[in-house]
Homo-oligomer: A and B are copies of this chain.
Amino acid sequence: MDVRGEASTAGWARWGTAKDVKLPDSASRLLAQVLELTPPPSVVALAAVAVPDCELDGAVLDALRQVVGDGHVITTQEARVRHASGMSTPDLLRERHGDVRRAPQAVIRPADHRQVVSVLDICSRLGVAVVPFGGGTSVVGGLTPAATRYVALDLGRLNQLLAVDPVSRTATLQAGLRAPQATELLAEHGFTLGHVPQSYEYATIGGFAATRSSGQASAGYGRFDDMVMGLTVATPRGTVRAGRAPASAAGPDLRQLFLGSEGTLGVITDVTVRVRPLPARSHYEGWRFESFADGLHAVRRLAQDGPRPTLLRLSDEIETMIGAAGSGRSEGGCLLVVGYEGEEVLPTVEATADVLAAHGGVPLGEEAGQQWARHRFDAPYLRDALLDAGAFAETLETAAYWSALPEVHGRVRQAILDALPDGALVLGHVSHVYETGASLYFTVICSPGSDPIGRWRTAKAAASEAIAATGATISHHHGVGADHRAWYAAEIGDVAVDLLRAVKQQLDPAGILNPGILVP
């Protein structure tokens, strides 16, 4: 598997090369019918990307080398370019043009928590900004700080399973563990996290915590923040260990201040998570609903009254149509994928089927579900394929209470279409359900035009304004980063913004941690 920040150059300016995902011919034909595709310029080779010389003087680098070891302060062009951004569409577009304006001065690879504390201490004293780097999969500008004099703190060496408590079903995982590694290590003890976001192949435990990640199986396993029992955080002021019990009334829940802090308040170095036994069985199936409204009603019933499958994913009419065009199916209506994992799944499968059928659902069988499962990580690769084909794809997401969801769906969709007057496909789905509401996820495909980043900015702003206007949240699981910062500030309000600034000032008085991200 190609992993950003490591040796292969094949995955440059792409989501990754773990698999070779091609746009189905039927989808290409459909796109060509509805959009004006613009043949893209060729991708600048990684080796041809110019980065300015490292500005840090030798004394700074020497101080860092003394902490992490000579081989772990890396200033090569390749390492700096690979740590220069995340995986947002603007990030990829700039990379394809060889435009890496703000590469880190160096990549620092600490081995443990103590080294992270020391690196933060040095950088705080010397005024060098620090951007924690896990899997590098941020799609909201979480890795493009408002600083040029900064280092990337690559957590890849913090890759140990530190402890497993099989009685309490907890495990302590270091932050730099990638999800597949964590899965393997936990499986040796018979456990799983059940956390499977689309970024699964590359993303890390620390990144999941720092961004409040949510996985495809969240209906069964919960969000990542639900799983976190405790965490260790290195800050320029020292170490915070938050969480020591299954529940507590001992003051504010300080875990929740670092979860979602996106590297701006500290560096999460390990996380103690709730784990579950490896499921003996899994089962996927598809259902068809006449309309998105009918499907929403059915999944709301399940989320509120049960039974609760492990995974629920309801596509709207357009997403269902595009998906069907790719697969050759064309039933119309809306596709619901339902997944089940556990020791026994059949009773839940049957009880769920009763509810779905009672709400107008028509069973499509296992293949419709398994097809989704086979392609569950494909979408970000498809974005690369679309870029290659001269189209432009972006995703954005929110969450809202059930009563507001139809309006949020309609208004955000319309805002995007209005902002892209020469045509766009806007696909939507619900993929995370709660008793009180659900997520809404949009995929936008349009022609890039002559100024793709300008076009992105316009459509993104329109969608974000519509989200804010309906009272929904600016992100359900992508996070804030640099891209959502303005809407985030409006969402929490002035008093809360000042509060966050005070927290940052206390923990990071020199303002070195991921400057410009999250906190306005």
Contacts and interface: CB of A to CB of B under 8 A. Distances in A.
B500 A502 contact: no
Contacts of A300: 167
A491 B168 contact: no
Contact of A247 (B254, B432, B494, B506): B432
A178 B288 CA distance: 46
A518 B247 contact: no
Given A498-B506, A499-B240, A250 B436 contact: no
Given A496-B254, A499-B506, A502-B503, A399 B165 contact: no
A438 B229 CA distance: 13
Given A245-B472, A249-B475, A260-B249, A254 B492 contact: yes
Interface of A: 165, 167-170, 211-214, 223, 225, 229, 235, 237-242, 244-262, 265, 274, 276, 300, 304-305, 343, 398-404, 432, 434-439, 471-480, 484, 488, 491-496, 498-500, 502-503, 505-507, 518
Contacts of A305: 343
B248 A169 contact: no
B507 A499 contact: yes
B257 A491 contact: no
A247 B496 CA distance: 18
Contacts of A476: 245, 247-249
Q: Which of A255, A262, A471, A503 has the most CB of B within 10 A?
A: A503
Given A169-B435, A256-B257, A401-B170, A250 B474 contact: yes
Given A229-B436, A304-B169, A507-B499, A253 B250 contact: no
A339 to B, nearest CB: 18
Nearest to A262: B251
Contacts of A506: 498-499, 502
B213 A169 contact: no
B245 A480 contact: no
A247 B223 contact: yes
14 contacts: A167-B300, A212-B248, A235-B495, A240-B496, A244-B471, A244-B472, A244-B473, A245-B399, A245-B400, A249-B479, A250-B474, A252-B265, A253-B253, A498-B506
